[in-house]
Structure 1
Amino acid sequence: MKPKKTFHELGLSEDVLNAVSDLGFTEPSSIQSEAIPLILSGKDVIGHSRTGTGKTAAFAIPSLEILEEGEQSPQVLVLCPTRELVVQVAEEYRKLGKYKEDFQVAAIYGGDDITKQFKALKRKPQVIVGTPGRTMDHMDRKTLDLREIKMVILDEADEMLDMGFLEDMEIILAKVPEERQTILFSATLSAKVMGITKKFQNSPKIVDVTGGKADRPKIKQIYFEMREGLKSEALIRLLEYHTPKASLVFCNTKVRVDELVEFLKSKGVFSEGLHGDLSQNQRNKVMSGFRSGLVSVLVATDVAGRGIDVSDVEAVVNYDIPRDSEDYVHRIGRTGRAGRKGLALSFVSNKEFRTLRKIKEDHEFEMELGKVPDIAELTEKKFLEYSHIVKEVSEEGDVSEYSKLVKKLTSEGIPAERLAAALFKLALAEKSEKFDSDVRFDQDQRSFREKEGSSRNDRDRRFGGKSNQKGKRDHKDKNRNSNRFHRGGASSGGGKKGSGSGSGGPSRKKGKR
């Protein structure tokens, strides 16, 4: 089906169109233009779309159109896997339903004050957004009546299954009318996901917008080969080089998150961690700081990171390569949203290399090999940035007060060129000193690259790049490269305990997510 060009062509009401316009939406995304007409026609729909493609609006907009004015009971139920996603989806409903008379939405989830949720439900909201566990809790307490539900939406169904919510979903859906409309959205269409569609849906129409490259978020994916002990210093350097305003860093364990946050703070980086051990108040505080910009780097586990929907995340860093390829898809989908360009950086040690290669092959991703900038490159980049800033200030800013100081110093015999150089040195000193403490990093990186093969073509061939087309490999090279990247020991750069840990950053410890 050819995507519509405007929201007006989708047959939406004036109040919804006004809300869409206020949000700055001009053209519907592929998932929106295809799913909205089907949902409005009353059909059950399976939406298969990647994170960041506008799927929340794809189900929220048509569900708002089915609401009957004056009916004081829940008409739409949205189930989400995490607390964070519940809050974000509910907020999207508030924005899209702002012009609907007496419209109310209630967010119900665990870890939040249940008495506050009692009050929200007493206001007779038309839309309920909740986690399965807390939704069942309110059903048991008789504070939530689902007998008038017209539409059920299962958001991120694959995540709910992975988190063990199948039984809860079955119990909840058994309490809503059979003639309801059921919408399911998922980033993956696994056998488990398709299995529940047979249980919960009636002849659903599949909307799949994941096939074409044009529909993929514009995310540049770069991977960096390095020893485990170099990851923390590499992160600092890459954040400094790319200067993203908001970054999301993923680790595989809670312990890893805490260690990395402590390291980043010691380097002056405004960072916080997010994992399952935090209370709801702590989670809310961390997310509030990240959304407001007070926290520039959020470090999270996969479980805690699910449902994070911050539109202006400029970079995602896979500090640890995820164990599951679908987790990688969910991770990088947190950047490159709403048509923006995104950046995904992955740190890969020897023992993680096979996993990353499988991820690349499974999803046909284009990844390029990157090089962590050395001190000279970082300094050069800062020089260029400050040069542009100085030019702008000199051309547009009021520098009269500072001109007096310059005249005074030059009259005392300091040449203007030397004075400017001294000021640059002062301005850049703070930026450079964080790298001067570990000049061994550059030496370790060079040593690592030399051991693993200095040729860029050789590295691309081992990763299965464009030059390595199927059927054109040399069998001998394939075996040799496979052995090099999948064996342990010092010869592969991942060997002796403590080797290559010159950055002084967090070490790998076992821990739960």
Structure 2
Amino acid sequence: MKSFESLGLSRGLVESVQLIGFETPTPIQEQAIPVLLNGNRDFVGLAQTGTGKTAAFGLPLLDLVDDKSRDTQALVLAPTRELGLQIANDLENFSEKVKRFNIVAVYGGSSISEQIRKVKKGAQIIVATPGRLIDLIDRKAINLSTIRFVVLDEADEMLNMGFKDDLDKILSFTPKTKFTWLFSATMPREVRAIMKNYMTDPFELTVGEKNTGNVNIEHQYVLIQEKDRYAALKRILDYTPEIFGLIFCRTRIDTQKIAESLMKDGYNADSLHGDLTQQQRDRVMIKFRQRSLQILVATDVAARGIDVDDITHVIHLNIPDEMEFYTHRSGRTARAGKKGISIAMISKRELNKVKHIEKTLKSPFKRMMIPTGQEVCQKQLLALMNRVHEVKVNDAEIAEFLPAIEEQLADLTKQELIKRFASIEFNRFLDYYRNAPDLNAKGERGEGASADEKYISSGSRLFINLGKMDGLDVPGLLELVDEQTGLGKKDIGRIDLKGAYSFFEVEKDQAARVVEALNGGTYKGRPVRVEVTDGKESSGGGDGDRPYRKSKGSYGKGGGSYGKGPARTGQKKRW
């Protein structure tokens, strides 16, 4: 394996990296740094999160930027405040003993006037989130005309978070002569579009096979009934007393509810979601990084960009509908070559999703049986004994208290002392798990078709000419169908979101009703067309849709809405 010195970095940077504790480069660093050091070509790096991408672009960037000039020469864009601050901090640590840079982090939730002041002092490198950078551009407080290098870190996450228009605007203010370095964990079509529009003959580097997950992550799933979801989560946590983990939920409400329930039940947990103020979010993240929190419950959007070392477990309370979300969730563990576990909690009807993820990641999922109450009690006792073995004894300071302790316990034999000591923890778990039921749902893959597969075989597949480009996501599509037809989540099968169109499934006897209810409306100003595809991928859904002018209403936040309340069977739509 190569050393950092052999990659062509300046001597000062090599020494700085060694002082930090980096010994050998990771695969992405080993292959990217020599290419980027040339500073004369666009670059695309595809690698999983936690593989060392910051150093892969940060070290050559520091060697190429002139610290004698006060011009802004490099711009690093990151999807979240947390990731931006982490990148800025890493760059400062790398360069501390080599060059005197003014590296400025620009992000929302903090004083914009203070950030403008720092930028105007002469920032050679700016690390920014797209939204706040747009604010500075609009205020004419930042000059991007001298930019030589633009780094798009976690590009797929930025696009998933809806920053495409912001990226287009930002890049339009940078010189055409700049070089763009793009790093991403996945390579969806939207990232390819960025490459096509803003890069010229980029050097493409893929570390590991495309669409494969981090090999250090062990993927597991548990099969549960919906009513047992929270009880099963508690049992998994109790069976893993040393857990330092992330729990993902679909919605802010679920996130807050689960976190509050865990705290009431005595777990060291907190939540992270979009309703928190920046100050509250910072406070939660500080506690989590310092391990004052053992469990963080989060939504996908809120957790993006979290870079915390040594997370042992990622638990998906609900398996995500988007493949990219599962990849990014799981990537929070097993970072920097360490091992980690990803556990998906699923019902039988979601088994086909697990099969799809297995196939895409080329990584097998192992079924984990939810432990019994007796197994939890045994695991907790062993963990307690391990803490007894590992505890550090301060002989000097405890000595004066020992006579009183020994006198208090003098009537107990060694055996009685051990039993009483162990029972302090054991009694609590024994009381809770006495006669605890089996929470494992019956059925396993291979035991006939899953509920989803049976549903699909008896359902109709519908095409709708709305997709991600329209700002549509899975919850939005579910809400749209529910609002106009009265069908709930349980009535809708598989959803497949594309760029300009999507597919979803309903029972055959509901298909005509759904088509009638949705056809002819508008969504954010775009005419809506829905049709039954009979399982075939429609070639329609682009800009060539038939004109529909019968409605003045619209779905969503585009202005106006259909009627008041859902259109039930037999009701007419109000236009």
Could you tell me how far apart the structure 2 residues matched to 1:82 and 1:101 are? 27
Residue among 319, 326, 329 paired with 1:328: 326
Equivalent AA in structure 2 for residue 482 of structure 1: S
Partner of 2:25: 28
* C-alpha contact 1:81 1:156 (8 A) present in aligned 2: yes
Equivalent AA in structure 2 for residue 425 of structure 1: S
Partner of 1:70: 68
- Report deviation, 1:301: 0.8
Could you tell me how far apart the structure 1 residues matched to 2:454 and 2:93 are? 50
Could you tell me how far apart the structure 1 residues matched to 2:174 and 2:452 are? 57
- Report deviation, 1:395: 11
Pair 1:154 & 2:126 matched: no
* C-alpha contact 1:79 1:132 (8 A) present in aligned 2: yes
* C-alpha contact 1:30 1:215 (8 A) present in aligned 2: no
TM-score by length of 2: 0.74
Residue among 443, 447, 450 paired with 1:482: 450
Could you tell me how far apart the structure 2 residues matched to 1:484 and 1:223 are? 17
> Is the alpha carbon distance of 1:415 and 1:79 closer, same or farther for their aligned partners in structure 2, counting shifts above 3 Å?
closer
Could you tell me how far apart the structure 1 residues matched to 2:388 and 2:286 are? 34
Equivalent AA in structure 2 for residue 7 of structure 1: F
Pair 1:37 & 2:31 matched: no
- Report deviation, 1:109: 1.7
* C-alpha contact 2:149 2:181 (8 A) present in aligned 1: yes
Partner of 1:259: 257
Partner of 2:248: 250
Equivalent position SS for 1:443: coil
Partner of 2:385: 387
Could you tell me how far apart the structure 2 residues matched to 1:395 and 1:305 are? 38
Partner of 1:171: 169
Unaligned runs of 5+ in 2: 457-488, 491-555, 557-575
> Is the alpha carbon distance of 1:127 and 1:409 closer, same or farther for their aligned partners in structure 2, counting shifts above 3 Å?
closer
Equivalent position SS for 2:204: strand
- Report deviation, 1:210: 2.4
Partner of 1:505: none
- Report deviation, 1:397: 6.8
Partner of 1:194: 192
Pair 1:419 & 2:413 matched: no
* C-alpha contact 1:217 1:337 (8 A) present in aligned 2: no
- Report deviation, 1:378: 1.6
Could you tell me how far apart the structure 1 residues matched to 2:201 and 2:392 are? 66
Matches within 5 A, 1:35-184: 35-41=32-38, 42-184=40-182
Q: 1:406-441: per-residue Cα shift (whole Å, max 9, x none)?
A: 57755x4x54323321222124335x26xx34656x
Matches within 5 A, 1:424-443: 424-430=422-428, 432=429, 436-437=431-432, 442-443=436-437
- Report deviation, 1:69: 2.5
Q: 1:331-390: per-residue Cα shift (whole Å, max 9, x none)?
A: 111100111111111111234322222111111112110012222112212332333444
Q: 1:139-195: per-residue Cα shift (whole Å, max 9, x none)?
A: 121211111111001111112222222222222212212111110111112222112
Partner of 1:11: 8
Pair 1:445 & 2:445 matched: no
* C-alpha contact 1:50 1:216 (8 A) present in aligned 2: yes
- The structure carrying a bigger helix percent of its residues is 1
- Report deviation, 1:40: 0.9
Partner of 2:562: none
> Is the alpha carbon distance of 1:130 and 1:396 closer, same or farther for their aligned partners in structure 2, counting shifts above 3 Å?
closer
Deviates more, 1:232-241 or 1:312-321: 232-241
> Is the alpha carbon distance of 1:21 and 1:422 closer, same or farther for their aligned partners in structure 2, counting shifts above 3 Å?
same
- Report deviation, 1:101: 3.2
Q: 1:459-488: per-residue Cα shift (whole Å, max 9, x none)?
A: 2x43xxxxxxxxxxxxxx6xx333587559
Could you tell me how far apart the structure 2 residues matched to 1:443 and 1:303 are? 35
Deviates more, 1:375-384 or 1:319-328: 375-384
Equivalent AA in structure 2 for residue 86 of structure 1: G
Q: 1:56-104: per-residue Cα shift (whole Å, max 9, x none)?
A: 1111111111111210021100111222221222122121121233212
Equivalent position SS for 2:192: helix
Partner of 2:566: none
> Is the alpha carbon distance of 1:485 and 1:7 closer, same or farther for their aligned partners in structure 2, counting shifts above 3 Å?
same
> Is the alpha carbon distance of 1:390 and 1:165 closer, same or farther for their aligned partners in structure 2, counting shifts above 3 Å?
closer
* C-alpha contact 2:83 2:305 (8 A) present in aligned 1: yes
Q: 1:256-306: per-residue Cα shift (whole Å, max 9, x none)?
A: 101101111011112111111222112111111111111211111111111
Could you tell me how far apart the structure 2 residues matched to 1:311 and 1:111 are? 24
Equivalent AA in structure 1 for residue 33 of structure 2: I
Equivalent position SS for 2:228: helix
Could you tell me how far apart the structure 2 residues matched to 1:391 and 1:80 are? 44
Could you tell me how far apart the structure 2 residues matched to 1:389 and 1:253 are? 36
Structure having greater relative contact order (Cα 8 Å, sep ≥ 6):
1
Equivalent AA in structure 2 for residue 99 of structure 1: K
Could you tell me how far apart the structure 1 residues matched to 2:342 and 2:223 are? 14
Partner of 2:358: 360
Equivalent AA in structure 1 for residue 101 of structure 2: F
* C-alpha contact 1:354 1:486 (8 A) present in aligned 2: no
Could you tell me how far apart the structure 2 residues matched to 1:153 and 1:203 are? 16
* C-alpha contact 1:218 1:341 (8 A) present in aligned 2: yes
Could you tell me how far apart the structure 2 residues matched to 1:214 and 1:364 are? 6
Partner of 2:293: 295
- Report deviation, 1:116: 2.0
Partner of 2:493: none
Equivalent AA in structure 2 for residue 22 of structure 1: L
Could you tell me how far apart the structure 1 residues matched to 2:280 and 2:67 are? 38
Could you tell me how far apart the structure 1 residues matched to 2:108 and 2:392 are? 55
Partner of 2:219: 221
- Report deviation, 1:242: 2.1
Equivalent position SS for 2:150: strand
Counting aligned pairs with the same residue, the percent is 35
* C-alpha contact 2:116 2:141 (8 A) present in aligned 1: yes
Equivalent AA in structure 2 for residue 31 of structure 1: I
Q: 1:172-221: per-residue Cα shift (whole Å, max 9, x none)?
A: 21221211111011111222211211111111010001219999341111
* C-alpha contact 1:244 1:315 (8 A) present in aligned 2: no
